[in-house]
Homo-oligomer: A and B are copies of this chain.
Amino acid sequence: MISTVFFDLDDTLHNTTRLARLARNAAVHAMIDQGLPLTPEGGCKKLVEIVRRKGSNYPGHFDLLVEETIGEKNYRLIAAGIIGYHNTKFANMHPYSDTVSTLIELKKMGMEVNIISNGRSLKQWEKILRLGLESFFTHVLISETVGYSKPDRKMFETALSIAHCDASDAVFVDDRVEYISGARECGMHTICMDKHRREPHDAPCDFIVHSLSEIPPLIRVL
């Protein structure tokens, strides 16, 4: 009988991708307002390219955007970018409309709810707290702290061990089907939260849902 649901965080419980796009856009506009000689479209394209090249956790995206555009460091422009980014991110960070009601429903069903997320511990915890979701979760496993990343099955074995849960009693929910393989290898039930209907019907997971609210009825019949 299912006792525990493990959720991914980003793009599963809230819309990180949209948030990052909004925040990057605001950052580029703020930098242009302070004198960065780029168009909004050109600036956003260049910033996305830098994020891709350096990875999302690199701390100097705006520094590079400025240096590669005007050939030198300019703290006024960099600071404008950071302010635009953070103001927009924090003002627009909220769970999906059905996240909280789904978590409440699972708690009512007696489920333990946990997080399995790849990323930096401080950054992920900051999101959980800003989303106001922290009280739902018994365990929050973040790859930086755990030492393994999804889809490595060791990440899921660690999660099951910490939650004292047999794989057959556990469900793992992620928006990225490629992260689900390790959970399947361990014998967990798997759900792909495919909000944008991008996955094929035969994607390698047990179920595909298009919104979180489909999950509690699905778990009831497992």
Contact = CB atoms under 8 A, between A and B. Distances in A.
What are the 8 A-B residue pairs with the smallest beta carbon separation, nearest first?
Answer: A79-B125, A75-B121, A79-B126, A75-B125, A76-B125, A75-B122, A79-B129, A79-B122
Contacts of A124: 75
A210 interface: no
B34 A83 contact: no
A76 to B, nearest CB: 5
Interface of A: 34, 75-76, 78-80, 82-83, 86-87, 90, 121-122, 124-126, 128-130, 134, 140, 142, 145
The copy count of this chain in the complex is 2
A78 B125 contact: yes
A128 B79 CA distance: 9
Nearest to A140: B76
A187 to B, nearest CB: 29
